[in-house]
Each structure stands twice: as C-alpha cells, then as structure tokens.
Structure 1
Amino acid sequence: MSQPLSTETIYNKQAASWSRSEKILLSDFTARPRVIEALGDISGANVLDLGCGEGYVSRMLLNRSAGSVFGVDASSEMITQAKKSAAKEKLPNSHYAVGNAVTYTDFPTTKFDHAIAVFLFNYLKIEEMTEVMAKVKNLLKAGGAFIFTVPHPCLPFMKEEAPPFYFEHDGKSYLDGIDQTFEGEIWRRDGVPVSVRCVHKTFSHYFDALKLAGFQSLPEVKELSVTKEHLKLDPDFFAPLEGYPLHVLFKVQTND
C-alpha cells in the first residue's frame, strides 16, 4: 500500500488552484470573512498568520489597514504564490516564510498584536496543535486575540461524500476516529475541487489544548454554516450544504 502524500506535497501540487484575488472557494464565503469580522479593528496591528497558504487572508488584513502581516506555511509553492500576489497588489508590509508551524521559530518580532490560524489545526495531531497554541500564547501581546478556524468536528459523520465539501471518515465514529486523518475535498464556485484533510478532534480537544497552552479565558466559539445570503447568491452551489455545521471559529484573548 502506498504511503499517503504529505500535506506539503498536496499543497505544492495544487497551489495554483488556491491562488485567487476574490472569493471563489466555499470557505472564502462561509469562514474567512468571519475571521476578519472577529478580529475587529486591526488598524496598525502586527498580525501573525500561521498556515497562511497563498496569503489570501493576509492580503485582506493588509487591505483593511493592518500594520504588517507575517505568514508561515509549510508549502513552498503556496509561499511563492503569496509573495507574488503581495507584490502584484503592492503590499510592502507582507512577509512570508516557508516553515512548519510546529517547529518554526524565526519570527521577526517577539510579540504580535494578534494571531490567526485559518484551517491549520485540521492538519495537525492533538499534541502538535497544543505545541502551536503554546507558541502563539508566548508570541501574543497582552490583550491580543488568537482566532482559528477548523472543520466542524461533526461534519464528516453528518455529510455524505459529495460536493461541495466533505471528508471521508472511513467507517470511524466520532469518538474512535480521534487523531485519525480524514481525506476530503472542498469546491470552488467554478466547479474545481481542491484536496483537503482533517486530523479528527472533538470539541473537548480544542478546549483542553487551549488550557494546556496557557490561555486562561474561555474562547468565544461560533459554528459556521451556509447563510440565507449565500443561498441567494448561488443556490445551486450552496444549497447542498444548507443546514450543516461546516466550520468552527474559536477566538481567545491573552490576559497577560
């Protein structure tokens, strides 16, 4: 049996399919705008973007007056795309580096105002996720916000394996699939699918990891789904997901 492709290989191969200047992926509608909303006023803020991909969210932040964004991603091709897009949009305060979020240490500053991880933790096992959360805790200024999104833990067990978003749970249940990798796909509105994967965790694992990482306050938690506005925009694309919990957004702030 052949070994599964590494996450880096998957994203190096499909980096061009992720590159975009406007909303096109399902999660560009259902998740990423909610991250921007949760951050609030970021004027002049220095933001850390872990698992930044090709820089789509980073560019959104800079276009909303963030002072600077430092993005890290394990895929060299995604970082190449991020640098090209930032140069094209003339965003000089964008900085990107190739690196694994678990082991990367060469940050340009000792403290950031805020940090985001948009669909990063679904690629990490529980122990790795906890290590990254602890790193973020140490990199945030007092009062800084850490916002991250993940696929909803229940989605693989509720949604059939069909467009425009699914994960294969391979017969595992919600509780016996913990730390197992589920392969999946998420679609663009133009019909192009891209590969995604989810290392399954329960809600408890996210709460426990934040506590172990040193965050002392309870996170805000929002379950994200297709809205009426999405259905009005493109009923054929969004209707198959109506009523399903697609993603979860966590927001936690440092107290010290």
Structure 2
Amino acid sequence: MTTSVEKDTQKLYDNQAQDWSRKEPILLSDYSARPYVLSMCEPIDGLDILDLGCGEGYVSRELKKRGATNIFGIDISEEMINRAIAEQVRQNLDGMTFKNLDVRQFDESNAKQYDLVLAMFLFNYLDVPDTQATMKKIFNWLKPGGYFVFAVPHPLLAYLKSEDYPFYFRSSGGYFSARNELFPGEIWRRDGVAVNVQCVHKTIEDYFTCLRAAGFELIPEVRELHITEEHIKMDPGFFEPLRELPLHVAFKVKKP
C-alpha cells in the first residue's frame, strides 16, 4: 500500500529532479554533509556498495570515482533515477546500476550482501517503524564486518533555525511530542535556487533505538556536521547564517 508520504516524496523529487542534478558541489549539503559522509565511507576501493535513496546519483558517482567496484542505487523518484542513468552513460562509468524502487518495498533477502550500505538523507523520509524495519533489512544486506553509514538532518535544527535562507525545516509541536510529524523545509543552492525537502521528525534516541533493534550492537561513530570557518571564508553571504548551528548527524556502524 502506498501512503500519502510516499506519494508526496515521489512527486516532490520527480518535479524538481532538474534542480538536484549537478556535476559539482552546488547544494548547501554538498559542502556541509556529503564530503564528510564520503570520508566516513573510506576506504572505498574495491567495495560492493548499496546506495539507498541515491537520488540523481551524485554520491554514487563520487563513490565510483573513489574506487568502488560495484554500486547499486535505488530511489523512490523515477525522474531522479532516469537522470542518474543518463549521467552514468554520459560519464561512461561502468559497475553502476540504478533502479526506481521504494526501500519499504525493496527486499534483497536472497541476493548478495554488500561491503557498505549508504543512506544519504533517506531516514528523514521514514517514520520510526519504517526506519527500524529498513535498518533491519540493511543489517541482513551487509556482509559480516561490513559498514552501514547514514546521515540525517539534525533533529534539533528545526527548533533552532528560523524559516529562512539557506536551510530550514518548519517544525510543529515539541521536540518529543512531534515524533513522526512531517516537517517541510527548503535547502538552497549557491546559485540561489531553492529545492524543497522534508523531514519526518525523530529524536537522536530514536536512531540509536532503531539501530539496536535492527541488530547493530556495536557503538556507532557519530558526527554532528556543521558549517566551518573555511566554508564562511569561501562564501560569507551563503554560509554565515548557519554559523554554529547543528545541520546534520552522520552515523557509521559495523556489522559484527
């Protein structure tokens, strides 16, 4: 059964896929999140990787360029997947497969396992039960000793940042009482284009609870991602409004 959130997410990204397509960093999160998450995935050379919520393939291409052997990317947006395939062909990158799939209906229980599963801004579109169910599947998809890396918007951002340029979520309710509520938001590109994003609110505790329930018992590496002085020197007008704000949280955990 397709829920309204699933339909809204698919429509949201089908309609703005062009604004997400890029060959170099341009979105705020291309500076504030993706480079750090990619570094958490190292060493990448020779890995088989599952990229969940791969969008138009920007991170998948970066993983491939850093030495990944095979990458399988899935995304709920058909238009995003079409663009991922087109750019893969344009850049003549082999060892990459993209499919239009919703992770909630995706089951690879009888397929091969992966060295690394990456979920870049996927879980902000899932509620707590779907997050736990997806993490359980991820645990099964990983080889023993494999790593699960994911990033989400920082749960506190919506309560600390006004609804303004260059990144915000519009909160409703309180930090604990708004669990599983959908927060709309926007994230800007450096050229002034804004794209719509969403966040199904969860607390920090929720992510740890879901990891543990899925079978990940080792202590994860956790990084709170934020704007640095180097970012501000690069483009003060764009990055300064986010100084000292917690923007994203990234996790890395190993399957025993």
Query: For 2:160 and 2:13, how far apart are their aligned partners in 1?
Result: 26
Q: Deviations over 1:193-226 (max 9, x none)?
A: 0000000000110000001101110111100000
Query: For 1:108 and 1:189, how far apart are their aligned partners in 2?
Result: 43
Deviation at residue 108 of structure 1 after TM alignment? 9.2
Letter in 2 for 1:224: L
Tell me the secondary structure at the aligned position of residue 6 of structure 1: helix
Query: For 1:52 and 1:194, how far apart are their aligned partners in 2?
Result: 16
Tell me the secondary structure at the aligned position of residue 11 of structure 1: helix
Which of 29, 32, 45 matches 2:31? 29
Query: For 2:157 and 2:78, how far apart are their aligned partners in 1?
Result: 30
Letter in 2 for 1:110: K
Tell me the secondary structure at the aligned position of residue 62 of structure 1: helix
Which of 25, 33, 47 matches 2:49? 47
Q: TM-score, normalised by structure 2?
A: 0.96
Identity %: 47
Query: For 1:43 and 1:154, how far apart are their aligned partners in 2?
Result: 35
Q: TM-score, normalised by structure 1?
A: 0.96
Deviation at residue 176 of structure 1 after TM alignment? 1.0
Q: Name 1:8's counterpart in structure 2.
A: 10
For the aligned residue pairs, the C-alpha RMSD in angstroms reads 1.6
Q: Name 2:112's counterpart in structure 1.
A: 110
Query: For 1:236 and 1:228, how far apart are their aligned partners in 2?
Result: 13
Deviation at residue 112 of structure 1 after TM alignment? 0.3
Letter in 1 for 2:82: T
Q: Name 2:160's counterpart in structure 1.
A: 158
Residue ranges of structure 2 left out of the alignment (5+ in a row): none
- Equivalent pair of 2:154/2:246 in contact (CA under 8 Å): yes
Deviation at residue 105 of structure 1 after TM alignment? 2.0
Q: Name 1:180's counterpart in structure 2.
A: 181
Q: Name 1:206's counterpart in structure 2.
A: 207
Q: Name 2:247's counterpart in structure 1.
A: 246
Q: Deviations over 1:168-189 (max 9, x none)?
A: 013x111111000000000000
Q: Deviations over 1:14-63 (max 9, x none)?
A: 00000001000000001001111001111110000000000000000000
Tell me the secondary structure at the aligned position of residue 42 of structure 1: coil
Deviation at residue 142 of structure 1 after TM alignment? 1.0
Structure-2 change in CA distance of 1:155 and 1:35 (3 Å): same
Q: Name 1:72's counterpart in structure 2.
A: 74
